[in-house]
Amino acid sequence: MTEDFAFLDPLQGCHPGIRAGWVGRVPGVPVSDEREPVMRALRPHHEAALAAFGGTPQRWWRAEQVHGIAVARIPDARQIPAPDGLLVVPGVDGLVTDQPNLVLAIYVADCAAIWLADRATGAIGLLHSGKNGTAGGILDNALAVMAQAFGTRPADLTAVLSPCIRPPAYEVDFAAQINAQAARAGIHDFHDCGANTATDFSRYYSYRIEKGKTGRMMALLVRDSRP
C-alpha cells in the first residue's frame, strides 16, 4: 500500500490533480538475498501502490536507473523489458511528462528521489539522484528538458527531496549538493525532509549499510485528468 508521508505534503494540491507517493520499507519481507529475488517479493506491495494511483502496467513508467543524468519525456520514450519482466525506459534516471494518468516511478535505497511539480503548467518530473547523478547534474538536465518541452520555469516548481543516505553514514553529502543546485537554478519552493536512510531500518532500506542485500523504496508521481 502507498504510505502517507508528511514530507510529500508540499506536492499535494500544488496543482490540480497532482499526487505523489512513497512506499518505504515493507515489514515482513525478507531482504537477505540478491536484488531480483527481493524485488519479486516486494512486487505485490509495489503493484498495490500503483493500483492506488490508478496505474496499470500500460500506464506505469519506470526509469532503468543507470546512475546517469539522462531524462526522458513520457510517453514518447521507448521501453524495454527489465529483469523483473516489466518495462523500463532504457538509459535514463529521470522521467518527465505533461500528460495525465501516466504514473512515474523510480526505486531508491540510499540514493534520492526528487519530485518536481510545475504549479503553472501541471508538468511533472521524477528523478533518481545519487552520488553520480547529482555530480553530473541530473536536476539541471531535467529542468532544461522541462523548459524546452513544457515551458517550465524553475520559479514555478515545487520540488521535494526524499529520504536518502547522509553523512556520517556516507562520505558524500549529495543531499546538500542537490539543495544547492536547486537554489542556484531558481527553485524557491524546495523541500528536504532531512531523513537519513542509513539510520532507521524500520522505515527505509539502505544499500550501503545492508551491503547490497536489501530492498528498494518506491517513489510515485502522477497528474490525474480530473481537476
pLDDT for the residue numbered 1: 39
Provide the pLDDT for residue 226. Answer: 52
- Calpha distance 163→204 (Å, rounded): 8
- pTM (2 decimals)? 0.95
pLDDT (0 to 100) of residue 170: 96
Output the DSSP codes for 76-100.
TS--EE-TTSSEEBTT-SEEEE--T
13: which residues sit within 8 A by CB, 6+ positions away? none
Residue 100 · residue 121 · CB < 8 Å: no
Burial class (CB in 10 A: 0-12, 13-18, 19+), 108: buried
pLDDT at 211 over 80: yes
In angstroms, what CA-CA distances link 177 with 33, 66, 112, 161, 167? 32, 20, 11, 11, 12
Cα separation, 173 vs 181, in Å, equals 13
> What's the angle, vertex CA 162, arms to CA 85 and CA 128, rounded to 5?
45
pLDDT (tens digit per residue) in 171-207: 999 999 999 999 999 999 999 999 999 999 999 999 9
- Domain residue extents for the chain: 19-223
Could you tell me which CATH number the domain at 19-223 has? 3.60.140.10
Q: How far apart are CA 55 and CA 227, in angstroms?
A: 18
pLDDT digits (tens, 9 = 90+) for 70-119: 999 999 999 999 887 788 999 999 999 999 999 999 999 999 999 999 99
